[in-house]
Structure 1
Amino acid sequence: MWPALITLVLSCTVFLSLKSFLDEKRRGRLPPGPRGWPLIGNVLDFPTTQQWKTFAQWGEKWGPLMSISLLGRRMVIINSAKVAVEMLDKKSTIYSNRPKFIVAGEMVGWETIGSMIQYGPRYRDTRRLYSQLMGSREKVNGLKSQVELASRKFLLRLLRKPEDLPAQLRLMAASTMLMLAYGYTVQENEDPIVKAVEIAMGEATRALSPGAFLVEVFPILKHVPEWVPGFAWKKEAKVMKRNLQNMCDMPFEFAKKQMAAGTDIPNLTSRNLPSCTDPEREQLLKDAASAIYAGKCGSDTTVSSITSFFLAMMCYPEVQRRAQEEIDTIIGTDRLPTLADRDSLPYVSAVCSEVMRMFVTVPTGFPHVLSEDDVHDGHYLPKDTFIIANIWQFCRDSATYADPFVFNPDRFLSSEGKVAEPDPRKLIFGFGRRVCPGADFADAVIFETCAVSLAVYNVSKPIKDGVTVEPSMEMTSGVIVHPEPFEVSIKPRSAKAEALIRSAEELED
């Protein structure tokens, strides 16, 4: 069995590589890039961690638009924001598809949820559902009470467990997004729905990891029975599918029961379920609601950004002091800042912008896929090419940002003789028809959480046995990245600040 299977795999590899080579010779010149090996292309060159840094280094040699080949699959990397706009924004009609994954998408079911949906009618219908909830600053303003409530509860949890910052941020994100999607109030300890989401998301991360499943390179392997030695992964995929269905079903059924009892809190599901006249439309709503939290519409990326904010504040105490002085001067110490105060707090807003620029949460974005052949700047790009926007490099381009590796919120403040540098939000939330639908909401959550934290907490490096504990300042690898785990000291600024924090106790059930 195995000799025949190996022969089949090698034959497929030769066929794909030869087809790719002949297509390139026939159609025209591809963007430049490192020379690969026969059959396998640039597989041996491809970085396994923090790919964005290698892509940036390649860009210095091969230019803003470059390409590589991975086992016959063409990947084009964009290292210039200007080129990304020209391709992904201005030609979005053909640059809006997503990669197709056999395990995560076809076998498990993520292909119908969130960022993995292919461009088309289902994608547009899903975006319309998101738009009615958080599709503009005006819509987000209507959610400000939920955002401010969540931030106040976060401050209180942090007071009780300051050593557990990441867990408190994840709980804040979960409670906010599940309330918006289903009207669901998260339990403080071991919430079953949050647990279901964590299981499904952990499995999705594994399924989407490069090299996790050989079938992604050789699709014919999906037809091999699971009882064949070496194909137990097909049973694993079935378990993943059940866990994904559980994640989608549990909160959706909760919302339906609350509606039937007349006790529902207005949310995306309750607002749209009455108009779902057939099972297909109901499934669309179920998938859209599940993606609001699990699909990253403001959850994991927001947690990463706010975690990075705390890291930045303890590493740049002079920035923290200046932001606190602005809050004390404009807002005072008798209340917490709100979203309505944002325009009055330009430096705090600039701090948030610099956090988003310096600590990009999705460094290479989510891949776009060409739906038809294209020619850009004289380079031929074949249909089904993966397009990677190196957002990390965009945010560190010295042609756009002065001293780009320096944390400096002042870059976003204009003054006499000085123009503010470009807003990173135009880069970090994606391009074209794939711009994050929750961008305005995520931006509001980040600002509010950071502002209230500055108002009442001092953030500093911890001291152990008389020695200051220094963080690594490095980010993890993956599609969505976080700061490497770090220790931090978080203490109320004063007795009055602690009283403000504790005022949220009256909001507890």
Structure 2
Amino acid sequence: MLESFHTLLILVLGAIGLYYYIAKKQSRGRLPPGPKGLPIIGNLIDVPIEQEWETYAEWGRKWGGIFHISLMGQSMIIVNSVNVMDEFDRQGANYSDRPVLQMGGELVGFKNLLGLMQYGPIFRAYRKHFSRFVGSQKGIHLLHPIIEEETHKFLKRTSENSSAGKLIGNLRKLAGGIILQVTYGYKVKDGQDDFVNLIEKSNENLSTALTPGAFLVDVFPWLKYMPEGLPGTSFLKLAREWRKTTEATANLPYAYAESQMAAGTASASFVSTGLEDSEASYSPEYLHNLKWTAASLYAGGADTTVSTESAFFLAMVLYPEVQKKAQAEIDAVVGSDRLPTLADMPHLPYLNAIMTELLRWHTVAPLGIPHAAVEDGYINGYFIPKGAVIVANLWKMLHDPETYPEPFKFDPERHLGPTPQRNVREICFGFGRRICPGMLLAETSVYSCIIKSLAVFNIEKALDSDGIPITPVHQTANGLLCFPKPYECAIKPRSEKAYSLITEL
């Protein structure tokens, strides 16, 4: 009885303290407008657990391009406007931190990845590693042979089995083949590959662990101190198991690269050049940063490219006129005696427009990864308190009819001509000092898949058992990273000549 009284007293005092903390914060300035919440819990029960970006876009019609919600005293700033995001970008030094994510970051161990890391010296060390290897077009150009070799393998696998169920598996093998070779000098095996399976499992854990509302510990951090086995603490066992996968994902491929270097058989890769180029004596800190930057390269690039490439095949099914125009451009510029290469990119403007429109039409990370305010600040006259979580609704910005008329239509033409619509790359890769550092590698990988697939395949509607074409719908599954929901399609060689180009690889 006495223990229950003490517990109640602590909760009451905590609530009172929280109330005065919030009141003190609000006294420093006018927060952005937003929906009125309940005492203590704020807007906790208002926020949806699925397709949040659509709800935030709807709320934005009332509250504007920037609005405020509160979750148990935690200020969240939702940004629906490109112009407002530009202002956060201009003040990037103050809005480049990350919130502490309890389940995915602290318990599962993803806080060591660049995307979730707190802003500071270690973050800058990671970015420096990224910059030296994939931060410039010159660096990416050196990787063209790897990207094209793995894309050729994808074409062959897809020609051998083009069922919808196999397409995603082939795309995952493509992404894994590129990134594992680029990062660790490891060539993916045919069939099942242990490294690909391991890292896919880790990415699946990452996506689940970071799904908003999936784990109460993200709302009530003190739950992580509860003894395992009590009701409501099953997440602790899950986190312990997932953490083993996280650490294996960083350690095992890295150990492979080290063993190849020791044997003198290593090919040039992110890890090998990071060790060879260093004049330091490989301090533990340097090696730790290199290992986890390598893991970040895969975690940040694998699922995002697979999602985008899957959306490409869906777009070609839904917009056959776009596909025909792209194939006509390839035939006119490249001909039919060879496959197009990345060197043809400057001469294929319509293909480049397809790439750009793909980044807009299918928003891989609708809400990006949240930022956090380092210190108190002001945006458009509104007070942004220290520690506030800033969520950029990239989906809304990329589907704003004022910026992109008919936003749900896949229309590459909008990016061509003398007055193209706003460059989506200024939006889709994030903002400030947290802008995606691997975007050049990701874009080049997707582009290679697009141009080679269009050169040799016709991508069409699948037929049902009665021979009637199946029209898929562009819908996305919920999560931090969004994939198109499963759909049917038919992928066939364009001609005997096209088939011969595939089989001769």
TM-score grouping bracket, smaller chain normalisation = over 0.9
Separation (CA, whole Å) in 2 of partners of 1:74 and 1:299: 32
Is 2:284 the partner of 1:283? no
Is 2:57 the partner of 1:56? yes
Whether the 8 Å contact between 1:9 and 1:218 is mirrored in structure 2 is: no
Partner of 1:245: 247
Change (3 A) 1:321 1:204: same
Identity of aligned residues (%): 40
What SS does structure 2 have at the residue aligned with 1:482?
A: coil
Separation (CA, whole Å) in 1 of partners of 2:54 and 2:153: 37
Q: Which amino acid aligns with 1:293?
A: Y
Residue deviations 1:350-406 (CA, integer Å, cap 9, x gap): 111111111111111111100110112221110111101111111122222232222
Partner of 2:162: 162
Deviation at 1:69, TM superposition (A): 0.8
Change (3 A) 1:331 1:37: same
Partner of 2:210: 208
Whether the 8 Å contact between 2:49 and 2:213 is mirrored in structure 1 is: no
Show the 5 A alignment for 1:54-93: 54-87=55-88, 89-93=89-93
Whether the 8 Å contact between 1:353 and 1:409 is mirrored in structure 2 is: yes
Separation (CA, whole Å) in 2 of partners of 1:72 and 1:243: 33
Change (3 A) 1:344 1:16: farther
Show the 5 A alignment for 1:436-455: 436-455=436-455
Partner of 2:496: 495
Separation (CA, whole Å) in 1 of partners of 2:102 and 2:362: 31
Q: 1:412 aligns with which of 415, 418, 438?
A: 415
Residue deviations 1:238-274 (CA, integer Å, cap 9, x gap): 2222221111111111111111111111111111225
Q: 2:173 aligns with which of 171, 174, 182?
A: 171
Partner of 1:507: none
Change (3 A) 1:428 1:6: farther
Partner of 2:472: 471
Q: How well do the aligned residues superpose, as a CA RMSD in angstroms?
A: 1.8
Whether the 8 Å contact between 1:13 and 1:39 is mirrored in structure 2 is: no
Separation (CA, whole Å) in 2 of partners of 1:438 and 1:229: 41
Which shows bigger deviation, 188-197 or 368-377? 188-197
Deviation at 1:5, TM superposition (A): 9.4
Partner of 1:235: 237
What SS does structure 1 have at the residue aligned with 2:92?
A: coil
Partner of 1:260: 262
Whether the 8 Å contact between 2:94 and 2:374 is mirrored in structure 1 is: yes
Separation (CA, whole Å) in 2 of partners of 1:444 and 1:204: 24
Separation (CA, whole Å) in 1 of partners of 2:13 and 2:210: 22
Deviation at 1:470, TM superposition (A): 1.7
Separation (CA, whole Å) in 1 of partners of 2:6 and 2:360: 47
TM-score with structure 1 length normalisation? 0.94
What SS does structure 2 have at the residue aligned with 1:39?
A: coil
Partner of 1:343: 346
Unaligned runs of 5+ in 2: none
Partner of 1:36: 37
Deviation at 1:226, TM superposition (A): 2.1
Whether the 8 Å contact between 2:477 and 2:485 is mirrored in structure 1 is: yes
Which shows bigger deviation, 463-472 or 76-85? 463-472
Residue deviations 1:93-113 (CA, integer Å, cap 9, x gap): 110001112232223221111
Partner of 1:293: 298
Separation (CA, whole Å) in 2 of partners of 1:492 and 1:194: 28
Residue deviations 1:5-59 (CA, integer Å, cap 9, x gap): 9747844762464145312442121101111111211122112111111111111
Deviation at 1:438, TM superposition (A): 0.7
Partner of 1:333: 336
Q: 1:315 aligns with which of 318, 321, 329?
A: 318
Whether the 8 Å contact between 2:398 and 2:407 is mirrored in structure 1 is: yes
Deviation at 1:180, TM superposition (A): 0.9
What SS does structure 1 have at the residue aligned with 2:479?
A: coil
Partner of 1:377: 380
How many residues align structurally? Answer: 498
Separation (CA, whole Å) in 2 of partners of 1:231 and 1:111: 21
Q: Which amino acid aligns with 1:183?
A: G
Show the 5 A alignment for 1:411-430: 411-414=414-417, 418-430=418-430
Deviation at 1:157, TM superposition (A): 0.8
Separation (CA, whole Å) in 2 of partners of 1:13 and 1:195: 45
TM-score with structure 2 length normalisation? 0.95
Partner of 2:15: 14
What SS does structure 2 have at the residue aligned with 1:458?
A: strand
Is 2:346 the partner of 1:355? no
Partner of 1:129: 129
Q: Which amino acid aligns with 2:77?
A: V
What SS does structure 2 have at the residue aligned with 1:468?
A: coil
Whether the 8 Å contact between 1:108 and 1:241 is mirrored in structure 2 is: yes
Deviation at 1:410, TM superposition (A): 0.7
Deviation at 1:137, TM superposition (A): 1.5
Q: Which amino acid aligns with 1:281?
A: Y
Separation (CA, whole Å) in 2 of partners of 1:11 and 1:481: 40
Q: Which amino acid aligns with 2:385?
A: P
What SS does structure 1 have at the residue aligned with 2:491?
A: strand
Q: 1:302 aligns with which of 305, 318, 341?
A: 305
Change (3 A) 1:493 1:13: farther
Whether the 8 Å contact between 2:368 and 2:391 is mirrored in structure 1 is: yes
What SS does structure 2 have at the residue aligned with 1:405?
A: coil
Residue deviations 1:137-170 (CA, integer Å, cap 9, x gap): 1211111111111111111111112111111001
Separation (CA, whole Å) in 2 of partners of 1:229 and 1:12: 25
What SS does structure 2 have at the residue aligned with 1:299?
A: helix
Q: Which amino acid aligns with 1:291?
A: S
